[in-house]
Amino acid sequence: MNSDSRHLPKRKNIRLKDYDYSSDGYYFVTICTHNRKPIIDKCNNSVEETLRELPERFSGVSINYYVTMPSHLHIIFVLQESQAPLWEVIRSLKALVSKKTGVKNFWQRGYYEHVIRNERALLKIREYIQNNPLTETIRFEQFYRNGLDKSSPYNS
């Protein structure tokens, strides 16, 4: 461990406890560019081409909906009998875009994901993706009838 890593803030774990991220289902993912630089517009063809190629690379993976913005992208992935977990699909997407564009630090480390657990949440997340994502903060807990479910990482 180098001396710099000891001073980094500990990241809050937003993953669902004991959840298998290679399970069949819908996943909402946000990936940001490095330092949120607005570079996606300049490389949008490479980003979209790579997204379209992912289902060919990973059997059982499809893209339900996505939007690209200058500094980030939102994607709803569907895993159905996929041999690859979500993290591997995203790792490949990021690596392939970086290679195609020749931009060394294209992406920010990590990504945000949310397991979509019902149809109401899916519809609201699609609506959120369609609308200007900068105008509102998404509150996932409101999509689930009785507030938070027991598997939610937002429970304290």
Question: What CATH number should be reported for the domain holding residue 40?
Answer: 3.30.70.1290
Which burial class, exposed, middle or buried, applies to 31 when counting CB atoms under 10 A from its CB (0-12, 13-18, 19+)?
buried
Average of per-residue pLDDT across 99-115:
93
Q: Is 147 inside a domain boundary?
A: no
Range of the domain at 105: 19-138
pTM: 0.76
Q: Any idea which of 17-21, 39-43, 121-125 has the lowest mean pLDDT?
A: 17-21
pLDDT at 135 over 50: yes
At 78, which helix (H) or strand (E)?
strand 72-79
Average of per-residue pLDDT across 40-58:
95
Radius of gyration over alpha carbons of the chain, in Å?
A: 16
For residues 107, 111, 117, 122, the Cα torsion angle rounded to the nearest 10 degrees is: -30
Asked if 47 contacts 40 with a C-beta cutoff of 8 angstroms, the reply is yes
Q: Is 146 inside a domain boundary?
A: no
Q: Is 66 inside a domain boundary?
A: yes
Average of per-residue pLDDT across 18-39:
89
Q: Which of 45, 85, 44 is nearest to 61 (CA)?
A: 85
Asked if 142 contacts 120 with a C-beta cutoff of 8 angstroms, the reply is no
What confidence tier does 114 reach under pLDDT thresholds 50, 70, 90?
A: very high
Average of per-residue pLDDT across 135-152:
60
pLDDT at 42 over 80: yes
Whole-number pLDDT of residue 87: 93
pLDDT at 156 over 60: no
Q: What does the mean pLDDT of the chain come to?
A: 84
Q: Is 82 inside a domain boundary?
A: yes
Average of per-residue pLDDT across 84-89:
94
Q: How many CB atoms lie within 10 A of CB 134?
A: 9
Average of per-residue pLDDT across 78-103:
95
Asked if 13 contacts 112 with a C-beta cutoff of 8 angstroms, the reply is no
- The tally of domains found in the chain comes to 1
Asked if 140 contacts 14 with a C-beta cutoff of 8 angstroms, the reply is no
